Chains A and B, each alone.
Chain A
Amino acid sequence: MSTLSEVAPAPILSIRDLSIELRNGGSKQLATKGVGLDLCQGEVLGLVGESGCGKTLTCKAIMGLLPEGVGRVQTGEILFSGHDLTRANEPTMRTFRGNTLSMIFQNPLNALNPVLTIGEQLSEVLATHTTLKRSEIYQEALHMLRRVGMPDAARRMRAYPHELSGGMRQRVVIAMALLMEPDVILADEPTTALDVTVQAQILKLLKSFQRNHNSAILLVTHDFGVIADMCDRVAVMYAGRIIETGTVEAIFDHPSHPYTAKLLEAMPRGRPVPRGELSVIPGRVPSNPDDLSGCKFAPRCERVQKACHRTEPRLKRVREGSTRIDPHLVSCFIAFEDRDEVTHVIE
């Protein structure tokens, strides 16, 4: 875990000031603004937030798969193995995709091709990125299918996706993503489509692979329970911005942004909750955040003040939960209001 080492390791994937522009007919809006994330080797970084806050788009931007003619990186850079992925051309991107940089999709029902067998789909990854012989490819693929815990793997190589259950399909999707032992895995809500028992198995599988290969995972989720199990660090997104980031301990023990605090309150904590007692955040994510001046969460915030509507707060370091290597950052005025501590602006 990165928190244990003394020196901050160089990030393997670094997102700087990423703004993604979405075009909808004639109107343009920024889906994310100034997103910055660092992902180090061997680290699991959780990316949390409500639906539509830009988590999936950020992943697609990393993969270079923003919907054509709709999404576009407006500013910022994504640094990965010596390239800026926002500027890399298609052939370069293709050498990364599925190879050193892979993505696990949300819905395993739709992420597999319905007319190709599991074996064909696994083999294709190896055929694309390696020079192995046919028989070696088959053995590799089968080996991987066994490793992700597919029962009766040899027979399943000949099965079509619709013949498998949701959990098994997600195992196949994960097997495909892990086949080339990628350095960075983007997992976009890998378990939301699955039921709870299967969820736990899939997460365990991801975690053990990540430990064995010292890969880095960017785990997109809206489930703080998953974050607690899996992640070293967390970044909370709201309306296309990172509003708080820090180690899992920092976020859970000292949530400093009212939104983070509310999200944590909204999480059932393993005990039965009487009807109506789960906390809800009233209102909804602004459809076009740039229409709001000031803090984008202000209209829904219980502790809102005048200043919140005037200027947009920037990410600043809070003392609680900060370690030497992993600062706990939050973009909120009131988080600092009761304290007289010295803070410095993080650019």
Chain B
Amino acid sequence: MNIPNTTFQDLRTRVTQKFRGSPVAIFSLMVIVVYAIAAVMVMLGLVANDFDARVGEKFMSPNATSWLGTDRLGRDILSRIVYANKIAFIVGLVTATLSVLLGTLLGALSGFFGGWVDAFIVWLYSTVESIPYLLLLIAISYILGAGLSGVYLAFVLTFWVGPCRIIRGEVLKLKEAEFVIAARAMGYGPMRILFRHIVPNTLHLALVNFTLIFVAAIKSEVILSYLGLGVQGEPSWGTMIDQARAELVNGFFWQIGGATVAMFLLVLAFNIATDTLQQALDPRQTR
């Protein structure tokens, strides 16, 4: 069996080459970087501090002080969009990190040990997967009450399935690889072989899954917040779109337009970047 090189340097070279060859991918990367910087600046309190402050009349059109106008309470829409970006980023980061860790751990155990461990974990993810995911998210959010912690839990409990399934398959394949047999022939124990010799060889899959989950979490957060189950007391793109429904009738579209475009740009950029990453790291897998 031919095992592709998956050293960190090698992954880096492959990714750099792939991105260099595609201007669209570079542009999408730049968009993500701009969003990320904005999110960090919000966290540091440098921008969008005034997201809750009344800065002018209600339903103002764009002007010199409020570039995207104001909402029904006279708050600056641009500030709220930028602040919501921070929420989106944190949700994406936390969800993707935890889901990939959990999925990798369970997938690795499942593929490596087989038997009842495998049967149980496969049963678990098949069950989670068979429930329509939005319904599951809503159910978990109802149980835990609205708010970010419920969102995190709901997301991790649904999103670990993807990496788990993929890592399990890869581990199943890798455990028959010659370098693994060679490691067993050196007298290494099963845990050492699994976590030092096999799992690091699935890093590229974990990376791709990280970006996939990141963007899925951002979208889902918007949906949950739109349904009133997500973020409370802070602006989120979802709550902004929700509030803007009624305003559309009055011909006021700055809030819904701004939030939608902000989300659309980030999701699109992420999708393009993920595609490129996937092509660079895992040419065999197409989704």
User: Which residues on A are within 8 Å of B, measured CB to CB?
Assistant: 63, 65, 67, 93-99, 102-103, 105, 107, 110-116, 124-125, 128-129, 160, 162, 173, 176
Q: Which of B6-47 contact A (CB under 8 A)?
A: 6-10
Would you give the shortest CB distance from A130 to chain B, in whole angstroms?
12
Bound-complex Cα distance A113 to B179 (A): 6
- Residue pair A65, B185 in contact (C-beta under 8 Å): yes
Residues of A within 8 A of B134 (CB): none
B183, CB-defined interface residue at 8 Å: yes
Bound-complex Cα distance A128 to B188 (A): 7
> Given the interface contacts A94-B189, A128-B187, does A105 sit within 8 Å of B5 by beta carbon?
no
Bound-complex Cα distance A160 to B3 (A): 14
Residues of A within 8 A of B196 (CB): 116, 124
Cβ-Cβ contact count across A and B, 8 Å cutoff: 78
- Residue pair B182, A111 in contact (C-beta under 8 Å): yes
Residues of B within 8 A of A105 (CB): 178, 181-182, 185
| Chain A residue at minimum C-beta to C-beta distance from B189 | A94
Pick the residue among A98, A114, A116 that contacts B187 (CB under 8 A): A98
Pick the residue among B8, B9, B185, B197 that contacts A113 (CB under 8 A): B197
> Nearest 10 pairs between A and B by C-beta?
A98-B186, A97-B187, A110-B178, A98-B187, A111-B182, A94-B187, A103-B185, A115-B200, A162-B5, A113-B179
B278, CB-defined interface residue at 8 Å: no
B1, CB-defined interface residue at 8 Å: yes
- Residue pair B182, A115 in contact (C-beta under 8 Å): no
Bound-complex Cα distance A65 to B3 (A): 20
Pick the residue among B179, B184, B189 that contacts A65 (CB under 8 A): B184
Can you list 29 pairs linking A and B with CB atoms under 8 Å apart? A63-B185, A65-B185, A67-B176, A94-B188, A94-B189, A95-B187, A96-B187, A97-B184, A98-B185, A98-B187, A98-B188, A103-B185, A105-B178, A105-B182, A105-B185, A110-B2, A110-B178, A110-B179, A111-B179, A111-B182, A113-B197, A114-B179, A115-B8, A116-B200, A124-B188, A129-B187, A160-B10, A162-B10, A176-B186
Classify the secondary structure of B's interface with A.
helix
Residues of A within 8 A of B181 (CB): 65, 105
- Residue pair A110, B185 in contact (C-beta under 8 Å): no
B177, CB-defined interface residue at 8 Å: yes
Residues of B within 8 A of A93 (CB): 187
Pick the residue among B3, B185, B188 that contacts A114 (CB under 8 A): B3
B225, CB-defined interface residue at 8 Å: no
Q: Interface size (B, Cβ < 8 Å)?
A: 29
User: Which residues on B are within 8 Å of A, measured CB to CB?
Assistant: 1-10, 176-179, 181-189, 192, 196-197, 200-201, 203
Pick the residue among B4, B178, B186 that contacts A128 (CB under 8 A): B186
> Given the interface contacts A65-B181, A107-B178, does A114 sit within 8 Å of B6 by beta carbon?
yes
| Chain A residue at minimum C-beta to C-beta distance from B178 | A110
Residues of B within 8 A of A129 (CB): 187
Pick the residue among A67, A107, A110, A124 that contacts B186 (CB under 8 A): A124
Residues of B within 8 A of A110 (CB): 1-3, 177-179
Residues of A within 8 A of B179 (CB): 110-114
Bound-complex Cα distance A309 to B245 (A): 90
Would you give the shortest CB distance from B118 to chain A, in whole angstroms?
13
Residues of A within 8 A of B2 (CB): 110
Bound-complex Cα distance A124 to B188 (A): 9
Residues of A within 8 A of B197 (CB): 113, 116
Residues of B within 8 A of A124 (CB): 186, 188, 196
Bound-complex Cα distance A111 to B192 (A): 17
Bound-complex Cα distance A110 to B200 (A): 16
Residues of A within 8 A of B1 (CB): 110
- Residue pair B182, A114 in contact (C-beta under 8 Å): no
Bound-complex Cα distance A115 to B197 (A): 8
Residues of A within 8 A of B186 (CB): 97-98, 102, 124-125, 128, 176
Bound-complex Cα distance A96 to B179 (A): 18
